[in-house]
Chain A
Amino acid sequence: MSKAVSALGGVTWTDGIATVHEAPLQGMITVRGDLTSKGVIKAATGATGMQMPAQGTANCNGTKGLCWMSPDELLVLCAYGDVAQVLDGMRAALGDQHGLAVDVSDARALFRVAGKGALEVMAKLAPVDFRPSAFGHGMFRRSRLAQVPAAFWMQEDDAFHVVCFRSQAQYVFDLLKAAGQKGSEVSIF
């Protein structure tokens, strides 16, 4: 029984200078704890097979990943269907160590913004330096898109993964479309 639906049901838009696609439900777990402690490292790397990310970066591959959120917070990415199992494993790895791991998969929406104009679309909405010298693969940035919080990273060339709150998915989708409207190329990057 497929009861679970993503915020916008996997909507796609291709009518502009970049394409916008809502990704299917993505497993996301917020982990809080001492990121240098054995327990947290074991919980995070064990769950994903990824290396611990350095400050301001993310190590992602497919639906798996570890994203550095703050000095005491990670965002763990895994397949949506695996969340319960991954959480169990992480809690076991944490043991008695002070920490927190909670499922936030359903609290978020994930978009993929791709194409030649992707960088420009992002630069119209986030007060972030997207010049290649300042932003590239592996970097993970929490900021805002217009008026709402968002986090984003580049997993491949000319493509951004953008995470926002589920309740704001429609707003963010509309933002990305407006910023990607036809004829709005900035031609700067």
Chain B
Amino acid sequence: MSTRLATGGRLLNTDIPVSFTFNGKTLKGYAGDTLASALLANDQMLVGRSFKYHRPRGIVASGVEEPNALVNLGTEGTFEPNQRATTTELFDGLRATSQNHWPSLEFDVGAINAKLSRFMPAGFYYKMFIHPRPLWKHVYEPFIRQAAGLGQAPKARDADRYEHFYAFCDVLVVGGGIAGLTAAKAAAASGAEVILLEQTAHWGGRAPVDGGHVDGAPVDKVVDELVSELSDMSNVTLRLRTMGAGVYDHGYVLGYERLRDHAPAQDGPRHRLWRIRARHTITATGALERPLSFAGNDIPGVMLASAVRDYVVDYGVSVGDRTVVVTNNDDAYRSALALKQAGLDVPVILDARVPAFDSPLIEQAKAAGIRILMGHGVAKVLGGKRVTGVAVCAQAGEGAVLEEIACDAVAMSGGWSPVVHLWSHCGGKLHWDNDFAMFRPDVDKAPTGADGSPFVSPAGSANGHFGLAEIIGDAHAKGRSAAQAAGFASSKRNAPDGESVTEAPMAPVWLMPQGAGIALRSKAWLDYQNDVKVSDVQLAAQEGFESVEHAKRYTTLGMATDQGKLSNINGLAILSDALDQPIPQTGTTTFRPPYTPISMGAIAGEASRELFQPIRRTPLHDWHTANGADFEPVGQWQRPYAYVRSGESVHDAVMRETKNVRDNLGLLDASTLGKIVVKGPDAGRFLDMLYTNMMSTLKPGKCRYGLMCGENGFLIDDGVVARIDEDTFLCHTTTGGAENIHGHMEEWLQTEWWDWKVYVANVTEQYAQIAVVGPNARAALEALGGMDVSKEALGFMEWADGTLGGFDARVYRISFSGELSYEIAVKASEGQAFWDALLVVGETLGVMPYGTEALHILRAEKGFIMIGDETDGTVIPQDLGLHWALSKKKEDYLGKRAHLRSHMADPTRWQLVGLETTDGSTLPDGAYAVAEGHNDNGQRNVQGRVTSTYHSPNLNKGIAMGLVLNGPDRMGEMLEFPGTDGKIYAARIVNPVFYDPEGDKQNV
């Protein structure tokens, strides 16, 4: 059993007991524990079930590479699945539950899959569920969905907040082990600004556990001194609990800081995403130990040798009373010795090698009285939910059992792989190191930055150095050269002297024993989380998935949440062997950020809830809110769709508002319309290029409606242009169009006609613009007083400056409704006061504010097009019967050349018409008019579509506009529009101007 030792535990504070629950059971730990160490201290080795076969799974590792110990953490708004117990710091009140089992962790029905594993090999799902096709949707997919997934998806809204932080530095060091600390110090000594990130809560990495001396001092003391020195330097920022998540182009690095995961009661954001720009980045990311592939290597109690050592030294936890060590390298001997030192039993070290000499570590193990079997390995692990022993065999053989040794834990080591993820994210290349059987950074092929020079350097064991002397020498050199690369004269200081222990060479062992038969191979796990075995990878190779990227996807090797940190190298070694080719030829799969999963919250940063996206509010927004506005988004603007009174539906309100405008007086908040000032001697010439019609002939004091096309001929915007004086125009754009059209103008002025004398300014938000519309509009303005707004003084399509009711105002007599209508611009700051004044004078005139839906109905009654309804980026003015707005006098304007292209001039382009149902009902929006016959996909041919459709309360019937094949020539013809409700709607082609075709109402 696993248990807490009476002594030891370098990271523990045993004065502070901590209480937590696992699957509802209350357990005890100490401050400084991880959830994993605390679970082990409580003999909770079994922590989960595997994904496919629901095999019992125990803790394997002590850090980020942990594949098995994934738990649900928290409840409700703090619930989060798939959290690694090994990187979860324990706090009082922590609540964890295990995943992927039913009804309980101890007894799981899904474990039947393991019995069927013979029938569920690699590619099982692909092969099994492909036929018959119709079963997929109703049988297979629901079944797989039910079975799929590890943790549960959270149901409650995330209660926490998150943020980003933009940081800049000369040298960024990722990894706070002895290499990272040494590199940071070497870089900082030159004066460079340095940020050092460490993903755990502690500095020093493996060094304090592995031991050794630097400049004669014990390495753990050296770590403390380095941290204290660096803390005192003003040019160094140290950050614990912050993982370097990814390295991106041009020196961009993401850091993932976990601020409150260990202290949920604290104020502030939970996670912070550091968006760092560093001139140079050092990846001192360490190395990860590899498992060995032998039968039963997934049984709870089989752990990485380094993890067994960590739990003893860091947390005072014994994972078992009797631990068998199995290895292909010297490092695992450190674990054996650490266990011995803690008073625990190591019955045997099974060393797959037959080394030529006894290294110091081997000698020490012998001296400690540990039995060592060279050239031996594990034939299989005995036990079910927990290790009970190992069967020993010769590594060179096929697994004949030589003896069985009782034990309750197995510490395995298959050698070490440098963590090359961050080095590789942005294109750093790797090469294969035969001596250590590992991929290491090819330092001559580093990622390059904005100036073309390398911007990442690996240091220490991340660079394939394992002795303390080599690690420190490399890290010191990398720190100096990074500062130099960032433009600092490097310090002359020499590297500290690390002492390395001579080790016997490791021997690559990809399968144990090397001749293991199929029975053993199909119990030898590569990927614990996704249940991929040696036999699966071999099958994939046999079936032709020879590329490592294909084999990965076919078997799902390395595709779980741990992204193959333990399994990838072993897997591709097995693949290489099956393909009979060297490992470097097989290559690795692509390393992609983030290094370990980061929260969606951290990625979103502040952009949640009210900050999800910017909402733009007009100066009248608060009034709208207080007066029943049902808002609709138009671009980022919030515009009132209708003002709903109590007892009314939204539809009722729309009908009431629409009718009232024609009968009495309506007020519309039109502030969102774009307003762009265009000024200069060439302003007229410029607008002639931008609009399809002529603007330079417009007289000061007058307004003209204009159309804009892109260079490709399609309509992009429309609006009324007012000429302010000889060289100044004010262009109105659509609500969503102000920024785009302003940008469009700047683009042409800056990049094509840069010698033209024109300046533009976007003054959209300077004004609150209010449309005063209806038969009583003039009376309302006269009641305000201050300006002559009579027909004679201010005719249709004219504008004037003046004062209205004491407000400085610019009054445009323009109409988008066919009614007598004025649009009045006042300063945005005075918009609310002006609106209030209009409501006061309008009281006896039947005033009502109206929203965007009424606006739409009013314009549709008049057959006025709307950009975004009648246009969709594929519509040209000719389609909408707007030939009159295409100047024939102008030699050139944007879109003119494009309109001559054959498809644009094609007479069969669909054209604008009105549509009217025979029974007065309203056509469905976007419905298509069907034609005879079917297309090649068996769908009905079509001959038109509805672009706008409303119920008109003024005409008391449904009205619509649409684009129809040869439409204008087919007046009176009937079309059929199948709706998505299964009904067929019949409509007649009519003139699109439904209301007041002579324009009598607006010309008063």
Contact = CB atoms under 8 A, between A and B. Distances in A.
A and B touch in the complex (CB under 8 A): yes
Contacts of B763: 102, 104, 107
B211 interface: no
A102 B677 contact: yes
Contacts of B704: none
B166 A98 contact: no
B132 interface: no
B237 A6 contact: no
B610 A174 contact: yes
B607 A106 contact: no
Given A32-B761, A98-B680, A181-B268, A188 B237 contact: yes
Interface in A97-126: 98-100, 102-108, 120, 123-126
A1 B836 CA distance: 14
B614 A166 contact: no
A127 interface: yes
B617 A127 contact: no
B830 to A, nearest CB: 5
Contacts, number: 138
A33 interface: yes
Interface stretch (A43-51, A58-66, A128-136): A128-136
Given A166-B619, A181-B269, A106 B761 contact: no
B371 interface: no
Interface size band for A: 35 or more
Nearest to B163: A124
Contacts of A124: 163-166, 606
A26 B165 CA distance: 30
A5 B622 CA distance: 13
Contact of A123 (B165, B766, B829): B165
B168 A131 contact: yes
B832 interface: yes
B494 interface: no
Nearest to B613: A147
A90 B71 CA distance: 68
B879 interface: no
Given A178-B611, A183-B266, A107 B606 contact: no
A134 to B, nearest CB: 7
Given A106-B767, A123-B165, A166-B828, A171 B193 contact: no
Interface in A4-45: 4-7, 25, 30, 32-33
Given A100-B759, A108-B765, A125 B606 contact: yes
A107 B765 CA distance: 4
A181 B609 CA distance: 15
Contact of A3 (B161, B272, B614, B807): B807
B193 A131 contact: yes
Nearest to A104: B766
B829 A106 contact: yes
A98 B616 contact: no
B153 interface: no
Nearest to B766: A107
Contacts of B268: 181-185
B127 to A, nearest CB: 47
A147 B614 contact: yes
A170 B237 contact: no
Given A107-B763, A123-B165, A184-B268, A170 B617 contact: yes
Interface string B762-776: 011111000000000
Contacts of B828: 106-107, 166
A85 B828 CA distance: 19
B757 interface: yes
Interface in B237-275: 237, 266-269, 272, 275
A176 to B, nearest CB: 10
A167 B637 contact: yes
Contacts of B633: none
A146 B765 contact: no
Interface string A150-189: 0000000000000001111111001100110111111010
A3 B832 CA distance: 8
Given A123-B167, A167-B617, A178-B163, A186 B272 contact: yes
A98 to B, nearest CB: 5
B829 A25 contact: yes
B827 interface: yes
A185 B833 CA distance: 41
A92 interface: no
A4 B830 contact: yes
Nearest to A83: B827
Contact of A170 (B272, B277, B615, B760): B615
A72 B761 CA distance: 12
B529 interface: no
A32 B615 contact: no
A131 B829 CA distance: 36
A5 B763 CA distance: 18
Contacts of B677: 100, 102
A105 B272 CA distance: 36
A184 B607 contact: no
A167 B618 contact: yes
Contact of A182 (B267, B272, B605): B267
Interface in B153-200: 161, 163-168, 193
B806 interface: yes
A134 B168 contact: yes
B829 A5 contact: yes
A6 B619 CA distance: 9
Interface in B800-823: 806-807
A107 B830 contact: no
Nearest to B239: A188
Interface in B740-774: 757, 759-761, 763-767
Contacts of A178: 161, 163, 606, 611
A148 interface: yes
Contacts of A102: 677, 761, 763, 766
A61 to B, nearest CB: 24
A183 B267 contact: yes
B892 to A, nearest CB: 23
A25 B757 CA distance: 32
Nearest to B616: A167
B141 to A, nearest CB: 37
B309 interface: no
> Which of B163, B637, B681 has the most CB atoms of chain A within a 10 A radius of its CB?
B163
A30 B761 contact: yes
A103 B766 contact: yes
B679 interface: yes
Nearest to A72: B759
A59 B267 CA distance: 39
Contacts of A129: 166, 168, 277
Contact of B166 (A33, A128, A168): A128
A146 B611 contact: yes
B611 A171 contact: yes
A183 B272 CA distance: 12
Contacts of B168: 129, 131, 134
Leading 7 A-B pairs by shortest Cβ distance = A183-B268, A183-B267, A107-B765, A4-B829, A167-B616, A3-B833, A106-B828
23 contacts: A3-B807, A7-B619, A33-B759, A72-B759, A99-B759, A100-B679, A100-B761, A104-B766, A106-B828, A123-B166, A124-B163, A124-B166, A125-B606, A127-B166, A127-B275, A129-B168, A130-B166, A146-B614, A147-B613, A165-B616, A168-B616, A184-B269, A185-B268
Interface of A: 1, 3-7, 25, 30, 32-33, 72, 98-100, 102-108, 120, 123-131, 133-134, 146-148, 165-171, 174-175, 178-179, 181-186, 188
Interface of B: 161, 163-168, 193, 237, 266-269, 272, 275, 277, 605-607, 610-611, 613-619, 637, 677, 679-681, 757, 759-761, 763-767, 806-807, 827-830, 832-834
Given A72-B759, A146-B607, A178-B606, 17 more contacts: A3-B834, A30-B761, A98-B759, A100-B680, A100-B760, A102-B766, A105-B829, A106-B827, A124-B166, A125-B164, A133-B193, A165-B765, A168-B616, A169-B617, A171-B611, A175-B606, A185-B268
